[in-house]
Chain A
């Protein structure tokens, strides 16, 4: 090695400042509505929203989709959206498009006031065109969708030049039981792998990783968490002595009854997820001074990275709103 080579090797390729500039422009951060707002999320992050049923997970996804498809500025009006296309893979098959339209309309009217409805319809159609939706009724269809996604994204990139999609998968655990039960089914031909939970998720993770390398996207996935309480037997024992209603025993009872969420996804999925947030319904109904009825509140907590802040939010007609 000549002296010039050694010198250039010591000097390095670029300074830290230049690298940071480069990364921040090529991988911008998404500013998402609550409760996903605490952590700056970039492309190639995989966010898992876990929670028991019902806990407003699909509402959070819909709200995020709304703020994603709205353009930033259109016709001189600042809508404040991200203007990025959204790909929604529905495994639960419970998506309600009219709810998405309702939330979108509320946002548009909030920005525009109740002015020209023709303009509102136009921007609604423009935003809805950025939203792509597909349903998968079993794991085969999911795998087929992921395999053909690259080709579709490539075609879109060539025709439109937009990158930076948002990929949403509603309920990655939807086929959990079906895949577990079909471990023993032979697939015809000795060289084919057996369909099993592990295999399906391995292929899903592998395909997603490959997609994220070529087409950097932000992936948001919901997962239904299975709740198990440890304190069921204890509760029955306590019921037999109703006289022991002192504050000490009731707080102990509460502590013992804290629900824990069983993780049922294989470790390959758990290591693929880079961020995790837990949503659950909170027990206290909030009596808001403005609304007539008590709104059901939900609590969200970031598990990965661990933040010791609990966000409370409610779901109203216009969307998901942070309360405290």
Chain B
């Protein structure tokens, strides 16, 4: 009822009687909606806070117009063994090293590998042969937090804890985390999505709503991975159905040539770039 008390000075009609009336009948007015933002404020916020995080892969960065945007949710869809996890690990290493920010890695299939992160970090920091100093390596790897989640409810738990942590950090003014990676969100959502019945889709929509809120309010970039299913004419299309299509900002489709290190990625949707562009890149061993 704090907001009512604040409004009391402006509007004398909201006196003590009115406030007790509201309290008795369970009418609450606290923080139900955010204030309206002006276009100019939005512009300044975008320029000051919503930077672009390079993914460490030039082809992908070119396609994404610089990399992962803070405040946006990027989806990477691809068939199994098409390099999604490798790309996630590469992005985590690049962001932790180059942008010096914290990374939250939610792993649903036990595919997180600290060794691979160390390999990537060595590749990024020194293209030559000498390895990174162990102290620096440890410090950078400490900023990548990995958490195993195996169902959507534990993911909600983790995200809610993260939200309260970020809220208190925001008050103090030091925001550390800049990237959330969920590999793969489709293995959390597919078990609950039935063909009829809206509970599964409702959970999916609220999970994405929460991710978008975290991305926008706390200036994080979010990367989620998805698997593919067969579509028209046998061409694979991203899974999770029609209602999923509107939930992410950027959608990418990844594929790999058989037995080689070359990956092909095409852009399915982007808020400010034409779809249909494609790029190729190589992730070395």
Contact = CB atoms under 8 A, between A and B. Distances in A.
A98 B46 contact: yes
B227 to A, nearest CB: 19
Contact of B243 (A132, A177, A182, A293): A177
A45 interface: no
B242 interface: yes
A295 B274 CA distance: 8
B43 A97 contact: yes
Interface string A156-170: 000000000000000
A9 interface: no
A203 interface: no
A88 B249 CA distance: 18
A69 B43 CA distance: 15
B2 to A, nearest CB: 16
Interface string A24-63: 0000000000000000000000000000111000100000
Interface in A239-273: none
Interface string B32-48: 11111111101100100
A224 B268 CA distance: 17
A96 B40 contact: no
A134 B26 contact: no
B272 A128 contact: no
Nearest to B35: A134
A145 interface: yes
Given A96-B271, A96-B272, A296-B274, A132 B37 contact: yes
A181 B274 contact: no
A224 B275 contact: no
Nearest to A141: B33
Contacts, number: 122
Contacts of A125: 40
A93 B40 CA distance: 18
Contacts of B138: none
A53 B238 CA distance: 13
B40 A129 contact: yes
B245 interface: yes
Interface string A134-152: 1111101100110010001
A302 B26 CA distance: 45
A238 interface: no
Interface string A77-94: 000000000010000111
The 3 residue pairs across chains A and B that have the minimum distance between CB atoms:
A128-B39, A131-B39, A181-B202
A130 B275 contact: no
Contact of A97 (B46, B206, B245): B46
A175 interface: yes
B38 A296 contact: no
20 contacts: A53-B242, A69-B39, A93-B212, A93-B216, A96-B249, A125-B40, A137-B212, A140-B32, A141-B32, A141-B33, A144-B32, A177-B201, A177-B204, A177-B205, A180-B202, A181-B198, A181-B203, A226-B243, A295-B274, A296-B275
A98 B209 contact: no
A132 B274 CA distance: 26
A94 B43 contact: no
A85 to B, nearest CB: 10
Given A97-B46, A181-B198, A226 B242 contact: yes
A294 B276 CA distance: 9
Contact of B36 (A94, A101, A132): A132
Interface string B86-126: 00000000000000000000000000000000000000000
Given A97-B46, A128-B38, 6 more contacts: A69-B39, A94-B212, A129-B40, A138-B206, A152-B36, A316-B274
A97 B42 contact: yes
A180 B206 CA distance: 13
A184 to B, nearest CB: 10
A133 B274 contact: no
Interface in B29-77: 32-40, 42-43, 46, 72
Given A54-B275, A93-B213, A188-B26, A101 B245 contact: no
B133 interface: no
A181 B43 CA distance: 36
A134 B202 contact: no
Interface in B192-213: 198-199, 201-206, 209-210, 212-213
Given A94-B271, A144-B32, A128 B243 contact: no
Given A96-B271, A96-B272, A133-B36, A53 B246 contact: yes
B275 A135 contact: no
Contacts of A69: 39
A301 B32 CA distance: 38
B269 interface: yes
Nearest to B206: A178
B276 A296 contact: yes
B199 to A, nearest CB: 5
Nearest to A226: B242
Contact of A93 (B201, B202, B209): B209
Among the interface residues B38, B39, B206, which one has the most CB atoms of the partner chain A within 10 A? B39
A286 interface: no
Contacts of B245: 53-54
